[in-house]
């Protein structure tokens, strides 16, 4: 006898149930189980050898419905995600499977025979409504949309024996069906002239059409079609249709690869199952073309490929290129699809042939059979890490497990690799392939540094330096386009001297201190260091322009418009892109040349290919360099390089103006010269010395609650526990956002050696004090 954990097809539960079974069973098998007095369908998620400790006796699985609904390896992957990221299997299942994959029990109302007399108003409304349906039995959910006072009306009709309501468990959801008419006999001697002409029409329509189409085009009735069918002249049957996903783009041909591309492709093709390759290529170096050509032979061999991208909405060009190269074989999967579309996409994958699925983070879980290659583009992007809800997984980590489980290689692509990937590529864990130059020989844009301290000394208080103003002027005269980039996150929270560029940092952690307006203290968000706010003048240079509080995109927009009245300016940030589709609208307008200058935040950096942009202005690099997070310089380098990479993708060379108070900062210098190594090497040395990733692991624990003392006590209790167990911790310290909606937030960073497994201690921790919810983030990458 074995014990199986079953995902039961029941809408009111949020957990897995354990049953017994005697005989063969695999994770992924569909089963029929007793549940709350009924029988329900479900999927076996895992099989346990030992009996779980429970106070109630276990029931047995009634029968196995279908073997291998999803392969066993797939469920093992989900279990691994749950274990590693300290989440429940159910949470992982919810994040991996599309909603509605399992059908849900529904309440339905059936009209019985009988004629009502003199009904009360609510009952009359429902009865009238029910009479409108052809079928006698209607879903509750459907009625609820149309009928007021439904509960009351139903009660009254039930009392009179006119309807009954019941719970119905439909079989696993069926895809959308179409009725198809197929011609069997073109010439039927015994047919009437009218019937003969119908058969001919069908032949003209291609011998196979949908019933709806056929009725419509021939102006005939279902009854007539049925007679033709009864005579054996045509067949009527149901066929599954898959919603959406057609593309009418002109196909395109593989390009002749450059020697660098050809070499990278060769390296990818030489990878063994489960191996990872880092494709490190500057922006515009032709990485996408390499992906396409790596996928081509796989499809021919009947295999499939999974392509992960940070954001579908912002990378339509990439999706289009795949659709044009592999017409009819590309599927796009992301969370903005409707439930039906997601469900269809899954069905298609489970049953379909060779194909390419392009998707965002959660697509790492799609069930592609015969997976031949996984590609994770822009692998450094933070959106691959899920924050909430649990599991807080990283798609790159899961992709690695998948590539091992499915015996296929994994390709990570980036112009600015994550230091963890880069380290793995240099120490031999990954293979490294490089594309060091842009296709067609276009140079990377020239980066000019502007020292903002000098601007101030010369009396320019505007956020636009004189150099930047001159460049915008020239851009206008040449009728070209430009981008101004501003980092707004955390802008207001660090203290910087505009006279000398000095930033106050923590003496323990070398991260910048964060200014808390509420009590005017400066705090470190890694350890618990704090100090009162400094004097009005800079301790370093005596300047009185000491406290620098940044500017938002809106202020920049105003400043630009005042200075350049004729310039057509658009803003691209959280505020202007809230509405659905407004992303694309703003970008399309810019793409068509209806605006000249785009002012935006981080969102601007993601994979845009805007050939007419010749000027990129980075308004203040400093805010990037002073986030209270050990990864902030890495982020800054990535961002600066990506922003700079937006310029000069067309024939015109690009120019980047990088404004900063700290022009000698190593990261600024590395970004200026597009030199990844100049940034990475010293940074890796520092990380190694501190035991930070990629040389150690981190777990972040976070607490949040309305009474700060209690939050702090919870954090301190856990901190003590960890210290007693000889664990290395940083904090507890206030979270980066220390108070959210009246809740105080404290956090603790737990440092672990690379190979350590924190799961055991974590489980123990969760039992210490659960009066305040503890949020666990394994391998966190963002400040909380
Ligand atoms: P990346 O993905 O590295 O940013 P892309 O693959 O988008 O680079 O390539 C940049 C541009 O160069 C695209 O317009 C692409 O069509 C073109 N391109 C890529 N490879 C070749 C090639 N071998 N020959 C000609 N054009 C190419
Ligand atoms: Zn100063
Ligand atoms: Zn500190």
User: Which protein residue has the closest C-alpha to ligand 1 atom 19?
Assistant: 286
Q: 616 φ, ψ to 5°? A: -125, 125
pLDDT category at 509 given cuts 50, 70, 90 is: low
The reported pLDDT for the residue numbered 493 is: 62
Q: Of 407-411, 663-667, 698-702, which gets the smallest average pLDDT?
A: 663-667
Distance 731 CA to ligand 3 centre (A): 8
Query: Which one of the ligands is nearest to 730 CA?
Result: 3
Q: Report pLDDT digits (tens) over 120-145.
A: 999 999 998 888 887 788 887 778 77
The pick from 257, 261, 286, 442 for probing ligand 1's pocket by mutation, whose C-beta has the most ligand atoms within 8 angstroms, reads 286
pLDDT category at 173 given cuts 50, 70, 90 is: very low
User: Which protein residue has the closest C-alpha to ligand 1 atom 6?
Assistant: 286
Q: Is 260 helix (H, G, I), strand (E, B) or coil?
A: helix
The reported pLDDT for the residue numbered 172 is: 44
The reported pLDDT for the residue numbered 402 is: 95
Mean pLDDT for 529-550 is 73
The reported pLDDT for the residue numbered 421 is: 96
CA distances 33 to 172, 578, 677, Å, are: 14, 45, 58
pLDDT category at 578 given cuts 50, 70, 90 is: low
Distance 453 CA to ligand 2 centre (A): 10
pTM of the model: 0.74
Q: Report pLDDT digits (tens) over 42-64.
A: 788 888 888 777 777 889 987 77
- Has residue 290 got a pLDDT over 90? yes
Q: How confident is the prediction for the chain on average, in pLDDT?
A: 82
pLDDT category at 540 given cuts 50, 70, 90 is: confident
- Has residue 513 got a pLDDT over 80? no
Distance 622 CA to ligand 3 centre (A): 19
The reported pLDDT for the residue numbered 495 is: 74
The reported pLDDT for the residue numbered 380 is: 93
pLDDT category at 419 given cuts 50, 70, 90 is: very high
Distance 508 CA to ligand 2 centre (A): 22
The reported pLDDT for the residue numbered 155 is: 83
pLDDT category at 541 given cuts 50, 70, 90 is: confident
> What is the rounded distance in angstroms from the CA atom of residue 292 to the CA atom of residue 557?
40
- Has residue 548 got a pLDDT over 60? no
The reported pLDDT for the residue numbered 466 is: 93
Ligand 1 proximity of 315 Cβ (cutoff 6 Å)? no
> What is the rounded distance in angstroms from the CA atom of residue 518 to the CA atom of residue 533?
12
Ranked by mean pLDDT, the top range of 170-184, 350-364, 396-410 is: 396-410
pLDDT category at 546 given cuts 50, 70, 90 is: low
The reported pLDDT for the residue numbered 518 is: 64
Contact between residue 661 and residue 626 where contact means Cβ atoms under 8 Å apart: no
Give residue 28's region: left, alpha or beta (phi > 0; psi -120 to 50): left
Ligand 1 proximity of 288 Cβ (cutoff 6 Å)? yes
Q: Return the DSSP state at 163.
A: E
pLDDT category at 456 given cuts 50, 70, 90 is: confident
Mean pLDDT for 310-324 is 78
Q: Report pLDDT digits (tens) over 721-769.
A: 999 988 898 889 888 777 766 778 899 999 999 888 888 888 888 777 6
pLDDT category at 105 given cuts 50, 70, 90 is: very low
DSSP 621-674: THHHHT-SSTTHHHHHHHHHHHHHHTS--SSSPPEEEEEES-TT-HHHHHHHTT
- Has residue 545 got a pLDDT over 60? yes
Tell me the β-bridge partners of 551: none
Q: 278 φ, ψ to 5°? A: -100, 115
Ranked by mean pLDDT, the top range of 122-131, 201-210, 404-413 is: 404-413
- Has residue 543 got a pLDDT over 70? yes
Please, which residues have CB within 8 angstroms of residue 382's CB and are 6 or more apart in sequence? 635, 781, 782
Contact between residue 31 and residue 6 where contact means Cβ atoms under 8 Å apart: yes
The reported pLDDT for the residue numbered 420 is: 94
DSSP 167-212: EE--SSPPPPEEEEEEE--S--TTS-HHHHHHHHHHHHTTSEEEHH
Ligand 1 proximity of 359 Cβ (cutoff 6 Å)? no
pLDDT category at 243 given cuts 50, 70, 90 is: very low
Residue with tokens 């100049």: 678
Atom of ligand 1 nearest to the CA of 377: 2
């Amino acid at each position: 006898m074995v014990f199986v954990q079953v995902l039961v097809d029941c809408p009111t539960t949020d957990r897995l149930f354990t049953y017994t079974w005697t005989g063969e069973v695999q994770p992924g098998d569909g089963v029929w189980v007793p549940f709350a007095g009924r029988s329900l369908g479900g999927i076996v998620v895992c099989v346990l050898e030992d009996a779980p400790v429970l106070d109630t006796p276990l029931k047995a699985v009634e029968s196995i419905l279908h073997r291998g609904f999803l392969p066993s390896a797939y469920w093992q992957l989900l279990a691994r995600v749950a274990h590693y990221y300290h989440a429940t299997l159910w949470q992982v299942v919810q994040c991996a499977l599309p909603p509605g994959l399992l059908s849900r029990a529904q309440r339905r109302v059936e009209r019985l025979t009988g004629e009502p007399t003199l009904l009360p108003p609510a009952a009359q409304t429902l009865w009238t409504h029910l009479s409108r349906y052809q079928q006698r039995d209607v879903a509750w959910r459907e009625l609820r949309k149309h009928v007021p006072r439904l509960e009351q009306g139903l009660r009254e009709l039930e009392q009179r024996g006119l309807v009954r309501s019941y719970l119905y468990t439909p079989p696993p959801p069926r895809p959308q069906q179409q009725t198809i008419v197929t011609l069997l006999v073109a010439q039927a001697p015994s047919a009437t002239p009218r019937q003969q002409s119908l058969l001919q029409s069908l032949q003209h329509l291609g011998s196979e059409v949908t019933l709806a189409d056929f009725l419509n085009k021939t102006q005939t009735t279902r009854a007539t079609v049925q007679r033709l069918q009864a005579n054996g002249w045509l067949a009527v049957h149901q066929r599954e249709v898959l919603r959406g996903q057609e593309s009418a783009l002109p196909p395109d041909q593989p390009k002749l690869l450059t020697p660098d591309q050809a070499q990278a492709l060769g390296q990818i093709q030489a990878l063994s199952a489960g191996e990872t390759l880092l494709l490190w290529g500057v922006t515009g170096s032709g990485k996408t073309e390499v992906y396409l050509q790596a996928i081509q032979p796989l499809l021919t061999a009947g295999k499939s490929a999974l392509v992960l991208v940070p954001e579908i909405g912002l990378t339509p060009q990439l999706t289009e290129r795949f659709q044009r190269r592999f017409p009819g074989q590309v599927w796009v999967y992301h969370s903005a699809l409707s439930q039906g579309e997601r469900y269809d996409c899954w069905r298609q994958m489970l049953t379909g042939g060779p194909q390419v699925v392009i998707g965002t983070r959660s697509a790492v879980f799609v069930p592609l059979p015969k997976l031949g290659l996984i590609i994770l583009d822009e692998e450094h992007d933070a959106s691959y890490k899920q924050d909430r809800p649990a599991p807080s997984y990283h798609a790159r980590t899961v992709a690695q497990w998948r590539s091992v489980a499915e015996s296929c290689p994994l390709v990570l692509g980036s112009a600015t690799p994550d230091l963890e990937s880069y380290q793995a590529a240099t120490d031999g864990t990954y293979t490294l392939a490089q594309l060091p130059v842009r296709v067609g020989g276009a140079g990377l844009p020239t980066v000019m540094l502007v020292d903002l301290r000098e601007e101030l000394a010369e009396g320019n208080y505007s956020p636009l330096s004189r150099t930047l103003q001159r460049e915008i002027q020239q851009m206008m005269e040449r009728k070209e386009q430009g981008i101004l980039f501003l980092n707004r996150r955390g802008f207001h929270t660090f203290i910087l001297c505009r006279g000398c560029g000095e930033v106050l940092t923590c003496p323990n952690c070398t991260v910048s201190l964060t200014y808390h307006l509420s009590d005017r203290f400066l705090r470190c968000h890694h350890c618990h260091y704090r100090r009162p706010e400094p004097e009005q003048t800079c301790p370093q240079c005596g300047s009185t322009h000491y406290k620098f509080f940044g500017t938002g995109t809106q202020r920049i927009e105003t400043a630009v418009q005042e200075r350049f009245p004729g310039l057509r300016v658009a803003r691209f940030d959280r505020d202007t892109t809230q509405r659905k589709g407004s992303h694309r609208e703003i970008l399309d307008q810019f793409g068509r040349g209806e605006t000249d200058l785009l002012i935006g935040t981080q969102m601007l950096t993601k994979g845009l290919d805007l050939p007419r942009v010749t000027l990129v202005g980075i308004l203040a690099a400093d805010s990037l360099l002073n986030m209270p997070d050990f990864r902030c310089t890495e982020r800054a380098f990535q961002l600066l390089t990506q922003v700079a990479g937006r310029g000069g993708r067309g024939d015109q060379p690009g120019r980047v103006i990088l404004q900063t108070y700290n022009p000698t900062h190593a990261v600024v210098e590395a970004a200026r010269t597009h030199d990844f190594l100049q940034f990475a090497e010293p940074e890796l040395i520092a990380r190694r010395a501190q035991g930070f990733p990629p040389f150690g692991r981190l777990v972040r624990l976070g607490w949040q609650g309305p009474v700060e003392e209690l939050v702090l006590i919870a954090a301190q209790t856990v901190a003590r526990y960890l210290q007693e167990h000889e664990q290395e911790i940083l904090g507890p310290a206030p979270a980066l956002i220390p108070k959210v909606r009246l809740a105080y937030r404290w956090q603790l960073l737990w440092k672990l050696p690379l190979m350590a497994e924190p799961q055991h201690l974590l489980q123990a921790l969760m039992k210490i004090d659960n009066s305040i919810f503890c949020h666990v983030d394994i391998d966190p990458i963002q400040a909380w």
